[in-house]
Chain A
Amino acid sequence: MKADLTPFLPLSPPALYILLALAGEDRHGYGIMQEVARQSGGQFKLGPGTLYDNLQKLVQKKMVAEAPHPSADDDPRRRYYRLTPFGRDVLRADIARLETVVREARGALGRVPSPRRA
């Protein structure tokens, strides 16, 4: 039986981007910031305060978990995070929700005549 993910949706933009950044591989905080900037084409920038505020919530909700360091000689100040299976399900559900929004928006905007030039 599938869990009801409705209480976790919709994800806030920072949470969505963080989960998306972790979908491909485990990353440390700065890596998440860089990946978010890359994925959004530089339009969405996360600062460390916003990042860890959201990571704290995502860890509490068990969507993200701490991951082991990939190598022993890594900077000990870095901590790595990974998407949990539950986090992946929530991300999938939110992406499906966004697809519906985009589909509806395309349909609605297609029906609306373009503004005329003055």
Chain B
Amino acid sequence: MRTLYRFLVRLHPLDFRVEFGGEMLWIYDEAAATIGVFPLLTDALMSLGRQWLLRSDVWKFGIGVIVNATLLSVLFMGPGFRWGPPKKGSGTGSVQAGLGLAWALPDPPPHHYKLYLMVEKAPAWDRDPEK
């Protein structure tokens, strides 16, 4: 279970994880026996959602993609645009082009958007104490 908790901590945005990841694991070690593993795992899951959706500004990036995709799709389709199923050879390619461009248009996400799951070397706090 500690491995699962550590994995959830590692999924947090980099800034938060570097700042507080070690302490979260330390509290897990101290409190798992008294508080219980399930509440700690639930809390880590909720924290994960909160950090990515509310604190990391990743939602701005998502909205940027959607807005850009919509605008560019409309732009590419021109006066023939209509809501509903695309006519043969009219809209689908444009939507795809719009989505592709929209993905490229927002500012490059800052480093904390990256998950760094497997590639980075585990920091000192993120190693099993028994090893």
Chain B nearest Cβ from A5, distance in angstroms: 23
Nearest chain-B residue to A51 (Cβ)?
A: B27
Say how far A56's CB is from chain B's closest CB, in angstroms. Answer: 7
A52 CA to B21 CA, complexed, in Å: 9
Closest chain A residue to B49 by CB distance? A49
Min C-beta distance of B37 to chain A, whole Å: 12
User: Which one of A19-27, A73-81, A95-103, A104-112 contacts B?
Assistant: A73-81
Contact between chains at A47 and B40 (CB < 8 Å): yes
Of B23, B28, B31, B39, the contact of A79 (CB 8 Å cutoff): B23
A2 shortest CB reach to chain B, Å = 30
Cβ B47 vs Cβ A30 within 8 A: no
Contact A53 B24 (CB under 8 A): no
Interface of A is mostly: helix
How many pairs of A and B residues are in contact by the CB < 8 Å rule? 65
- A91 at interface by CB-CB < 8 Å: no
How far apart sit A101 and B29, CA to CA, in the bound complex (Å)? 40
Interface flags, B15-58, vs A, CB<8A=1, else 0? 01001101111111011000100011011101110110001000
Can you list 12 A-B contacts (CB < 8 A)? A30-B27, A45-B39, A47-B35, A47-B39, A47-B42, A48-B24, A48-B31, A48-B47, A53-B55, A77-B22, A78-B23, A78-B26
